[in-house]
Amino acid sequence: MQMRDSGVAPPDVPAETTARASNSTPTALDVAAREQLRAAILAENRMSWIAAAVPFGLWLFVLRSPLLLAFGLLIVLFSVVRARALPEIDRGNIERAVLYFLVGKWAISIALVFLLPIALPIVIVNLIMPIALASMHLSARRFVPLMIASVVVAFVVAMLGYLQNVLALEEETEPWVWQWLCVIVLTVHFVPMSLILWRGNQQQRATYGEALDVNRRLIASGEDLRRSRRRLVGAADAERSRIERDLHDGAQQRLSSVLVQLRLRSRLARRGTEIDLDEFDGLLDELEAAIAELRDLAHGIYPPVLAMRGLPAALAAAVRRAPVPVEIDAVEIDRFDQTIEAAAYFCCLEAIQNACKHSEPDTTVTVSLRRVDDLLTCSVADDGPGFDVGHAATLGRGIENMTDRIGAAGGVLTIDSAVGVGTTVEFELPTAAVTDPEEHRT
């Protein structure tokens, strides 16, 4: 029983040791193959105890031959050798483990057929199993010598089985004893063999299913990514179009008009017409309005305070004229990569605007910014009316924008809301700058 105990390691230990020893993370298939080999060795050792009991039993009750005793001891000896294969599996030395397994099988098979030629069929079955196992685990370089060795062993076994009967153990007692023994042992042999094959197959099927599942999830997430990217590009295009529209309808119109009027006045003045200074003031007002429009537009594209002072200052500036009180609670928020700052800023702004849009007179909004190691955590919480998150229809374009924006910056966004409680938009962003080789080339 000692050997079995030494062989059965706690289930979590082997994987760890294996990973350390082989210097590379084993794949799921590797792990399944090792488990199969381990199961085969354990099953074989359990059978060996019964197998060893047979010659001892025969020696005790049927035939007092020292050969039977020697054979029993041989079985025990190779059980010990086989048990040594288990720690080798844990260390990742699969080939050595297979070798221990094979050598044990060969030695016992040769001894058995030497003692009892009638046991030849049993021995054949015994020889097929290890070479089948080896074929699953060995590289071509190792497999060929083993195959040759296996052929040689088969030859020796066949020779012994068909051509010799030197000990004539069979004749020293009633023949039916040996005949029935062989029938039983041969039949029993197929139980562990079937189990081992079945288990290996199950494991491979499970691994295959797992791989398929991972594949499916990868495909799905790829589709999500493509959709999100399309939305981001669409949003950026829409934004550019809006800016063009604003410029066209605003500052550009004003400036064109002022230019036309100034040119007219300049020509009139050259010809001696007196300038109406009140009209001139009107033109100056137009110019001021145009400049203000340009400034607002530029601010909408990228807020200058964000570029100069970072997140807390930019958010504080943005909420100064909010219709409800907005508290900015930032602890140790420094400067981050521009992508991170922009994503966090516009996402907070969107969340604050949403909170204000749906606010009640006594609603307050709290924006908290925290940094834990390489993670920036922001939450925009209000005690407004809230909504039912379960209703997907209420999640608008704004939330999709936020999710896409945070997702593109490598973060995760969650929205928590309940009717009568309020809404909390929370997101995390990795602050470590993503190094983009394309970006550094320029």
Partner 1 sequence: MPDLRVFIVDGHESFRRAAAEVVEAAVGFRVDGCAASGAEALAVVGAAAAVDVLVIDVDLPDADGAAVASELCRRQPGLAVLYTSTLRADDLPTELLERRERTARVRFVTKAAFDADCLTTVGTRRDPVVYPDADAGLGGRTT
227 vs 267, beta carbon nearer partner 1: 267
Secondary structure of the chain as H, E, C letters: CHHHHHHCCCCHHHHHHHHHHHCCCCCHHHHHHHHHHHHHHHHHHHHHHHHHHHHHHHHHHCCCCHHHHHHHHHHHHHHHHHHCHHHHHHHCCHHHHHHHHHHHHHHHHHHHHHHCHHHHHHHHHHHHHHHHHHHHHCCHHHHHHHHHHHHHHHHHHHHHHHHCCCCCHHHHCCHHHHHHHHHHHHHHHHHHHHHHHHHHHHHHHHHHHHHHHHHHHHHHHHHHHHHHHHHHHHHHHHHHHHHHHHHHHCHHHHHHHHHHHHHHHHHHHHCCCCCCHHHHHHHHHHHHHHHHHHHHHHHHHCCHHHHHHCHHHHHHHHCCCCCCCEEEEECCCCCCCHHHHHHHHHHHHHHHHHHHHCCCCCCCEEEEEEEECCEEEEEEEECCCCCCCCCHHHCCHHHHHHHHHHHHCCCEEEEEEECCCEEEEEEEEECCCCCCHHHHHC
Is 268 a binding residue for partner 1 by CB under 8 A? The answer is: yes
Is 260 a binding residue for partner 1 by CB under 8 A? The answer is: yes
Q: Which of residues 10-29 bind partner 1 (CB under 8 A)?
A: none
Is 266 a binding residue for partner 1 by CB under 8 A? The answer is: no
Is 253 a binding residue for partner 1 by CB under 8 A? The answer is: yes
Closest distance between partner 1 and the C-beta of residue 281, in Å? 15
Closest distance between partner 1 and the C-beta of residue 244, in Å? 10
- Pair 32, 207: CB distance under 8 Å: yes
Contacts of 246 by beta carbon, 8 Å cutoff, 6+ apart:
293, 297
Rounded Cα distance, 307 and 301, in Å? 11
Q: Which of 346, 399, 319 is nearest to 239 (CA)?
A: 346
287 vs 408, beta carbon nearer partner 1: 287
232 vs 283, beta carbon nearer partner 1: 283
Rounded Cα distance, 243 and 302, in Å? 12
271 vs 441, beta carbon nearer partner 1: 271
263 vs 335, beta carbon nearer partner 1: 263
Options 65, 93, 228, 252; binder of partner 1; rule CB under 8 A:
252
82 vs 254, beta carbon nearer partner 1: 254
Is 267 a binding residue for partner 1 by CB under 8 A? The answer is: yes
Is 257 a binding residue for partner 1 by CB under 8 A? The answer is: yes
Is 258 a binding residue for partner 1 by CB under 8 A? The answer is: yes
From residue 111 to residue 150, the character string flagging contacts with partner 1 as x (rule: CB under 8 A) and all else as - is: ----------------------------------------
Is 263 a binding residue for partner 1 by CB under 8 A? The answer is: yes
Closest distance between partner 1 and the C-beta of residue 258, in Å? 8
253 vs 364, beta carbon nearer partner 1: 253
Quick one: which segment of 29-37, 128-136, 173-181, 254-262 binds partner 1 (CB under 8 A)?
Answer: 254-262
**How many chain residues are in contact with partner 1, going by CB under 8 A?**
17
Options 17, 65, 207, 261; binder of partner 1; rule CB under 8 A:
261
Closest distance between partner 1 and the C-beta of residue 283, in Å? 9
Quick one: which segment of 22-30, 99-107, 245-253, 363-371 binds partner 1 (CB under 8 A)?
Answer: 245-253
Closest distance between partner 1 and the C-beta of residue 293, in Å? 12
Options 254, 352, 355, 383; binder of partner 1; rule CB under 8 A:
254
Options 259, 301, 307, 375; binder of partner 1; rule CB under 8 A:
259
164 vs 256, beta carbon nearer partner 1: 256
Strand order in the sheet with 412-418: 326-330, 365-372, 375-382, 422-430, 412-418
| Other CB atoms within 10 Å distance of the CB of residue 4 | 14
Quick one: which segment of 54-62, 164-172, 262-270, 320-328 binds partner 1 (CB under 8 A)?
Answer: 262-270
Quick one: which segment of 74-82, 140-148, 157-165, 251-259 binds partner 1 (CB under 8 A)?
Answer: 251-259
231 vs 254, beta carbon nearer partner 1: 254
Q: Which of residues 283-312 bind partner 1 (CB under 8 A)?
A: 286
Binding interface with partner 1 (CB under 8 A): 248-249, 252-261, 263-264, 267-268, 286
